[in-house]
Amino acid sequence: MNAPTRTVSERDMANAIRALAMDAVQKANSGHPGMPMGMADVATVLFNRFITLDPADHRWPDRDRFVLSAGHGSMLLYALNHLLGYADMPMEQLSQFRQMGARTAGHPEYGHAQGIEVTTGPLGQGISTAVGLALAERMAAARFPGLVDHYTWVIAGDGCLMEGISHEAGDFAGHLGLGRLIVLWDDNRITIDGDTALSTSTDQKARFAAYGWHVADCDAHDPESIAAAITAAKADPRPSLIACRSVIGFGAPNKQGGHDVHGAPLGADEIAAARAHLGWPHEPFVVPDAIRDAWARVSARGAAARINWLRKLAAHPDRAAFEAAQAADPAPLAPAMAAHKAKLIADKPKVATRKASEMAIEVVAGALPFVVGGSADLTGSNLTRAKSQKSVKPGDFSGSYIHYGIREHGMAAAMNGIALHGGFRTYGGTFLVFADYCRPSIRLAALMGVPVTYVFTHDSIGLGEDGPTHQPVETLAGLRCIPNLTVIRPADAVETAEAWEIALASAATPTLLALSRQNLPTLRSDAAENLSAKGAYVLRDVAKRDVTLIATGSEVEIALAAADLLAAEGIAAAVVSAPSFELFTAQPDDYRTAVLGTAPRVGIEAAIRQGWDAVLRSDDAFIGMTGFGASAPAPALYAHFGITKEAAAAAARKLTGK
């Protein structure tokens, strides 16, 4: 007679995670086994008792979101997704951990595998992006009651909480009262250098309590303690931080609890000792069927929840609106924006491109209800708010305008989360020089292919009196070098409207608008085609070019004036407006050749030359900045730094020899 089958415990389920983590890291001879082993019990209780998701439909809109902010412990997530039955995470993927072509990268990569909600490598980014996910859930629930009600769960480490961005995100989440956000802090008190006492004395629980969070703690290796803390967190209307007191590398008897287990394979001897210590006699990458069945029940529970939700969706009166928001189709914008551009050409307003952006946002807000915006406390300067937009406030998430406060980095991360959640397209504003505060989040948006829009104003020395601390002379170059980021510096109101069309049509690329403080004339006389989408185009042509003047943004006006000076001297100068080098580089060779021509070229931009290789050759001239700016009115600054029509004309004369 067969022996009775032993009941599978949550410790057994957790040990499967531990074994897979140590085996994968050992085979790769690279990785971080300590966190997955230390947090395996917490993850098991979370998934076994609380989380709702269905691997059969990894994009189901009302699923819970799980973010592994401590992304170095990626094997925790890969092991979970394998055990839950995600179709693209077979055992072969785990055994190829960190190898070329595998989905199991060294840190979780959004889009590489199902069940990965956020790319989490830089510490602090996961928890901060999760704030955006949780905010999007609340905004969607306010719009579609009965269709949206899920949680955002985060496993974060000491490093996530030490990084400064976590302050911005935690404060913001506490202010808004994002009660569907629950952070499980891996309180193992170990960093790479050693004990956390080497570098911090912060009482993290007191810190988050001061933000207005619900705070609790638990024994990270006692399932009932874990479950009680999570149950209390779900019952509290505030965001929650649960300090999970864990032992890093739990189960490795000779290495657990020390920093050596953080980021290196355990070694064959210690793995053998861990197997004996945990009562795990199975070969590497082998999980018994009974334990697999236990994990399959988690997925079955999620599948039942999804089927029930689909029934609710089918009968819901707002089904069409909900599905339209999920699709985020920009097509309804086209007729309204066409009418707006026609009016611009007729009226020829002289406005700053930040004002032109505000005018475009009015059109966007009227046509696309799924667009939400905001600013890092610069609404009146960035001009990012349409008259129809209502503020998002604690207890009222029905609005479409978010006051991020003076938290540029947190804003950019939250925007990523809002976009990743689905159901919204989002934009946020600050001064262009503060893009440096946003840069890690901008880079991740580009890496993930998240189509957020950055509305960054005061884009050059043209902002004037605030001086060199606020004048972003090098910032455009630094942004243009980020792969998969479209930077657009429009020259007038028409190009600005076109930039908004480009941004909202983008499916997998973030877009950054660099906008002027100073007023600029309307230069375009035709908007039948979105010429900005080509990146650069001939704004004024001549029969036979002696020189080509190429400019962006506020300097296109200078290029046109220089062309007039040259024409009076018999020098034929074509003028090219180049709002986006990235879009221009993507055009066919014959188009780029036709736009640039073969004549000598002069580039004009109130910034440094770096990054102009897309349109200038080594022997072409550049009129721009070579150092930092100064504090003075904008006209005086342009004259002082030689960014004038006279300087551009002089450079053209020198190149042509005329």
Q: How do residues 321-345 score in pLDDT, each as one tens digit?
A: 999 999 999 999 999 999 999 999 9
CA distance 13 to 226: 15
Average pLDDT, the chain: 97
Q: Is 408 a catalytic residue?
A: yes
The mean per-residue pLDDT over the stretch 298-314 comes to 98
Q: Are 129 and 118 in contact (CB under 8 A)?
A: yes
CA distance 596 to 422: 40
Q: Nearest CA to 621 among 589, 584, 598, 654?
A: 654
Q: How confident is the model at residue 2 (pLDDT cuts 50, 70, 90)?
A: very low
Q: Nearest CA to 421 among 67, 111, 134?
A: 134
Q: What is the pLDDT of residues 500-512, one digit of tens each?
A: 999 999 999 999 9
**DSSP string of 457-499?**
E--SGGG-TT-TTT--TTHHHHHHTSTT-EEE--SSHHHHHHH
Number of alpha carbons in the 13 Å side-chain half-sphere of residue 506: 29
Is 153's pLDDT higher than 50?
yes
| The predicted structure's pLDDT at residue 658 | 85
Coil, strand or helix: which one is 139?
A: helix
Enclosing H/E stretch for 428: strand 425-431
Tokens of 641: 């730094």
Enclosing H/E stretch for 194: strand 194-195
Q: How many CB atoms lie within 10 A of CB 158?
A: 21
Q: What is the pLDDT of residues 555-586, one digit of tens each?
A: 999 999 999 999 999 999 999 999 999 999 99
CA distance 387 to 2: 74
Is 210's pLDDT higher than 70?
yes
> What is the percent of the chain with per-residue pLDDT over 70, rounded to a whole number?
99
CA distance 162 to 187: 12
Is 5's pLDDT higher than 80?
no
Catalytic residue among 137, 408, 557, 582: 408
The mean per-residue pLDDT over the stretch 609-637 comes to 97
Q: Are 374 and 362 in contact (CB under 8 A)?
A: no
Rounded (10°) CA dihedral 114, 120, 121, 127: -160
Is 228's pLDDT higher than 50?
yes
CA distance 319 to 144: 9
pTM value > 0.85? yes
CA distance 435 to 478: 10
**Residue 68: Cβ-neighbour burial (10 angstroms; 0-12, 13-18, 19+):** buried
Q: How confident is the model at residue 4 (pLDDT cuts 50, 70, 90)?
A: very low
Q: How many CB atoms lie within 10 A of CB 568?
A: 9
| Inter-CA distances, 332 with 43, 351, 363, 368, 503, Å | 43, 26, 11, 7, 14
**DSSP string of 336-402?**
HHHHHHHHHHHH---B-HHHHHHHHHHHHHHH-TTEEEEESS-HHHHT---TTPPBPBTTB---SEE
Is 137's pLDDT higher than 70?
yes
Tokens of 292: 């697999």
CA-derived radius of gyration, the chain: 28
Tokens of 498: 């076109």
Q: What is the pLDDT of residues 260-271, one digit of tens each?
A: 899 999 999 999
Supply angle C-alpha 118, 124, 127, rounded to 5. Answer: 55
Residue corresponding to tokens 């040990």: 15
Tokens of 409: 């980095």
Is 1's pLDDT higher than 60?
no
CA distance 126 to 444: 11
| The predicted structure's pLDDT at residue 6 | 61
CA distance 296 to 291: 9
